[in-house]
Amino acid sequence: MHDGDDGYHVSRRTLLRASAGTATLSAVGSVRADGDDGATGTTRWFDGDCPEATLEPGMTHCEGASAEGCADDHPATTELRSAVRDTLETGYPDAETLLEAGYEPYFDTLETGDDSWSHWLSPEFIGDGELLDPERPESVLVDNRSWRSIGVMFIATLDGDPIDPPAVYGAETSEAQCSPWHAHTGLPGRFAWWYYRQVYEQGFRHGELELPCRTPCMLHVWTVDHPESVYAHDAPPREYRDLAPADDPDFDTDAVPGEDALGWDALPDEALPERLPGDFAMADRFGIDLGL
């Protein structure tokens, strides 16, 4: 921000620090009672075309997907997890290396404090047609306390459009199929995908304003221990994420890994998108935390 009268310059990161915590309900446009965005046209929140949509976080198994045949000690699972761990350790161990590699951040607030974690998404890998490729993870999951990578999220898209995902194993054998792909049907997850496409893929410049009824199919692989499963949807509890803090980053920040939570206000100005989730109009009519 620049004031032409006195030449005083305030960085966007400083402004974010000053306003942290003041906006908890962010959404798309000014939503009218009928669900239309009165300013930008056709964005629909809930209507007959989205019967499974919910206000709260929600998910559903993708068509033909099932986690019933999944086992953490299955050779295919251990091989995939090992390959993902190698990729993260050598290429994307922390937030600084993710920024350098072109990953874009998205911070959720449904889990806060020591339990918070974030999704970092790669515009290069999303939609490139390479699915379940441990060397090209569409999204890397980061613990916001240590700033270290703790897993990946594969996203089944081609040129940004959802496609049917492959099973991890069992699709072509007589053994039980392991295909733990899920899609988000709740408003927070739908908004997060909409936000990524609008802001990082510049969808708003091409008139892509409609909120999807569900996200593409997604699949987690956790490289830290998880009491539920390698493929669990939620992050492992805090005691499973007791990692040494990442080294102090070289980029411009006052935040310190292990002491300050990783978030928008911890990033350098050049890493911030044109519009943050909180830049969109408030949606107080919903009366819930959208997790933005």
Domain extents in the chain: 12-286
**Contact call for residues 165 and 140 (beta carbons, < 8 A):** no
Q: Give the 3-state secondary structure of residue 169.
A: strand
Query: Quick one: CA dihedral 126, 265, 27, 25, positive or negative?
Result: positive
Task: Give, as one character, the DSSP assignment of residue 280.
Answer: S
**233 Cβ partners below 8 Å, 6+ apart?**
59, 182, 220
**206 Cβ partners below 8 Å, 6+ apart?**
none
Q: What is the mean pLDDT of each run of 10 residues along the chain (292 residues)?
A: 35 35 30 35 57 89 94 98 98 98 85 80 92 97 97 92 94 93 93 90 71 94 98 94 96 96 95 85 40 41
- Indicate the pairing of strand 218-222 with strand 149-155: antiparallel
**Contact call for residues 120 and 104 (beta carbons, < 8 A):** yes
Q: Give the DSSP H/E element, type plus range, for residue 18.
A: helix 12-19
Q: Give the DSSP H/E element, type plus range, for residue 117.
A: strand 117-121
Burial of 281 (0-12, 13-18, 19+ CB in 10 A): middle
65 phi/psi in degrees, rounded to 5: -90, 150
**126 Cβ partners below 8 Å, 6+ apart?**
138, 139, 155, 157, 160
pLDDT of 69 reads 95
pLDDT of 6 reads 37
Q: Count CA atoms closer than 13 A to 9's CA, side-chain side.
A: 2
pLDDT of 179 reads 97
pLDDT of 146 reads 97
Task: Give, as one character, the DSSP assignment of residue 58.
Answer: -
Residue type, 275: R
**Contact call for residues 113 and 190 (beta carbons, < 8 A):** no
Count other Cβ atoms within 10 Å, centred on residue 18. 10
pLDDT of 48 reads 66
Burial of 50 (0-12, 13-18, 19+ CB in 10 A): middle
pLDDT of 210 reads 80
Rg (CA), the chain: 19
Q: Give the 3-state secondary structure of residue 105.
A: strand
Measured at the CA of 12, the angle between CA 9 and CA 18, to 5 degrees, comes to 100
Q: Give the DSSP H/E element, type plus range, for residue 154.
A: strand 149-155
pLDDT of 274 reads 86
pLDDT of 112 reads 60
**Contact call for residues 217 and 62 (beta carbons, < 8 A):** yes
Query: Quick one: CA dihedral 288, 289, 291, 292, positive or negative?
Result: positive
Dihedral angle of Cα 84, 214, 107, 90, to the nearest 10 degrees: 10
Dihedral angle of Cα 151, 239, 117, 166, to the nearest 10 degrees: 30
